[in-house]
Structure 1
Amino acid sequence: MGFILNAVRGFCMAVADSVPGVSGGTIAFLMGFYDEFINSLDGLFLGNKEEKKKAIVFLVKLGIGWVIGLCLSISILTTLFASHIYVVSSVFLGLTVCAIPIVIREEKDSVAGHYKHIIFLILGIAAVVLIAMGNPASGGEGLHLNLSSLTFGNGIYIFLVGMLAISAMVLPGISGSTMLLIFGLYMPVTGAIKDVLSGDFSNIKILICLALGIITGILAIIRLVKFCLKRFRPQTIYFIIGLMIGSLYAIVKGPETLDIPQDAMTISTFHIPGFIFGIVILLVFELVKIKKERS
């Protein structure tokens, strides 16, 4: 049961990172395993032998679902996102709206009586909104790169963007795919992944540079997040809730970041059944989590 649950968690994280405006970190927080996720990543790179072993077991289970979700997103679900983006976005709106009060309830010791830290909530909202406004379709200039020939400078650039993208994926809020889009790497990276999946390794250097940046970003951001959760939990929780609230705006604007941009979600394109379905999904996971904790 634990293996299946973690694989499903990983699958949902990968699908979320593929949807414009949604972060895998948001899903981890929604489903109640964010601390375990952060501690496992930290333990994998910086823990002792026992911590590494425990982290590997957890991350392998999570990773299997994540890889399946990524492959499906790149090869199959991309078409679904393009043709039914408002339904998909409505589902994630339901997930997020339902999750915010759940997070506040579960973190009541960090929230109640610490209202002076509301500034961190405002900062979290502002961070996501500003990043979401930076995508080319929202009026930002963005970048358009031609990586047909990978130079040393482009390699460094991809490395640095990889660091930023993994930070976005880990933190609840903006999606890593949106960060890649803003910095002009969404199409080159997804194209390189599609090539590799089809057996063409001509652009694998792009993915190697990105992977090195991701690993470096994990080493930096995970240690920082773990430290903040341990030493400054009320401030960090307020900031994370702010990121989640801000992600509502990012999800609404998400359709603008598709390969073929569509209008941002409006009342007329909002899909009520999808929204309700998102709420139901989260409540089911909440019930499974409660059952697991009691067993």
Structure 2
Amino acid sequence: MPDLAPADHAAPSRRRRLGTAGLNVLRGGVIGAVEVVPGVSGGTLALVVGVYETLITSAGELVRGVVTGATGLLRRTGLERSRAHFARVRWGVILPVGVGMLTAIVLVSATLAPLIEDHPVQTRALFAGLIVASLIVPTRMVGRWGAREVAVAVAGAVAAFLLTGLTGVERADPSLWLVMGAASLAVCALVLPGVSGSFLLLVLGMYASTLAAVNDRNLAYLGVFAAGAVMGLAVFVTGLQWMLAHHHALTLATMTGLMLGSLRALWPWQGDDASLQAPSGDLGPVIALFVVGIAAVGALLVLEHVASRRTDAAVPTTGATADR
């Protein structure tokens, strides 16, 4: 029955596509889960799980497609350019990653708030371990470190250290205009590793209200927040793309410094005003959770490496990593 041969070859290909989509949903879940945590950057985890540059490129094409389409409604050439931008979006990556992110944000928001409130020292120790291990990703992507790369990394670390020392007064009932503005700033954390969107919301006094809006399914709040996030991406992502294209090593060195400096927000022992305090209490569980965080990222990096090698071996062409 010769007509069955194409189906036999297609089945493994479909299984690979489904497996890759499932892996991307998992990647999105990891990014979404940590993005809810103040002090932990979703962009950092996007680097760790290997989808950062794909997401940045696709976000840039998506933004340009929307802008070109909106400004060219009356011109056929404008719509054609818009479709061309949309065609370059890696939908096979961003859609499953987006599904994973949204699912994780909803699930984690319902459990994270009481966990952080009841066990702040332990949760910060775990998150600090995650970030310490994650530093290896942008450090290796820089390649050869010179004096300029070291200088910008130090500057980024100092800036992040000072930023994470700020605190804000929580706003019980923020206006929708304020929600939109806060979202446009916080979404930059998805684009810029080392900067936590949740922490920026905390600084602006919008973290608790945003977490409550997710848990309460406040559609008006969430709709305005989403609109602000799109505006922020439209302004910020193009500039970052240019930096990565023209100053790749320096940009990644800056990201490394931002990640390093942001560890200040995850020092386990802190006062209510974010002041750093000396270690106290039972140190054993805190150290153990810190090590668990390091081990978790290490395991994730190993899995990513194994998955990449299998994908490359299965499809040894230039399109082998198209869905990574």
Relative to the length of structure 1, the TM-score reads 0.82
Partner of 1:174: 195
CA distance in 2 between partners of 1:85 and 1:132 (Å) = 16
CA distance in 1, matches of 2:150, 2:224: 38
Which residue of 151, 161, 169 maps to 2:182?
161
The 2-side partners of 1:184 and 1:35 are apart by 31
Structure 2: which 5+ runs fail to align? 1-18, 66-81, 311-324
- Paired residue total: 272
* Equivalent residue, structure 2, for 1:139: none
- Structure 1 unaligned regions, length at least 5: 136-141
Q: What's the % identity of the aligned pairs?
A: 25
Q: 1:7 to 1:267 in 2, by over 3 A?
A: farther
Any conservation in 2 of the 1:44–1:51 contact (CA below 8 Å)? yes
Distance 1:20 1:38, change over 3 A: same
Alignment-derived partner of residue 56 in structure 2: 38
2:25 paired residue number: 7
CA distance in 2: counterparts of 1:28 and 1:254, whole angstroms:
27
Question: For 1:181 and 1:254, how far apart are their aligned partners in 2?
Answer: 18
Q: 2 CA distance for matches of 1:52 and 1:284?
A: 35
Select between 209-218 and 278-287 the one with higher mean Cα deviation: 278-287
Quickly say closer, same or farther: Cα 1:264–1:174, change in 2 above 3 A.
farther
Q: Does 1:67 align with 2:82?
A: no
Q: Please tell me whether the aligned partners of residues 159 and 209 of structure 1 are also in contact (alpha carbons under 8 angstroms).
A: yes
The answer to whether the 8 Å contact 1:21/1:254 transfers is no
Partner Cα distance (1:265, 1:43) in 2: 45
Which residue does 2:214 correspond to in 1? 193
Residue in 2 that maps onto 1:27: 45
Q: Where has structure 1 moved over 4 Å in runs of 4 or more?
A: 47-51, 253-257, 261-266
Among 219, 230, 233, which residue is 1:215 paired with?
230
Separation in 1, partners of 2:137, 2:165: 28
Residue equivalent to 1:244: 259
Q: Go from structure 1 to structure 2 and tell me whether the alpha carbon gap of 1:5 and 1:124 turns closer, same or farther (over 3 Å shift).
A: same
Give the greater-gyration-radius structure (CA).
Answer: 2
Letter in 2 for 1:96: I
Q: CA deviation digits over 1:229-259, x for unaligned, max 9?
A: 11011210110010110121122279667xx
Tell me, in whole angstroms, the C-alpha distance in 1 between the residues paired with 2:268 and 2:125. Answer: 12
Alpha-carbon distance between aligned partners in 2 of 1:208 and 1:32, rounded to the nearest angstrom: 29
Question: How far does residue 217 in structure 1 lie from its aligned partner after superposition?
Answer: 0.6
Provide the rounded CA distance (Å) in 2 between the counterparts of 1:33 and 1:177: 20
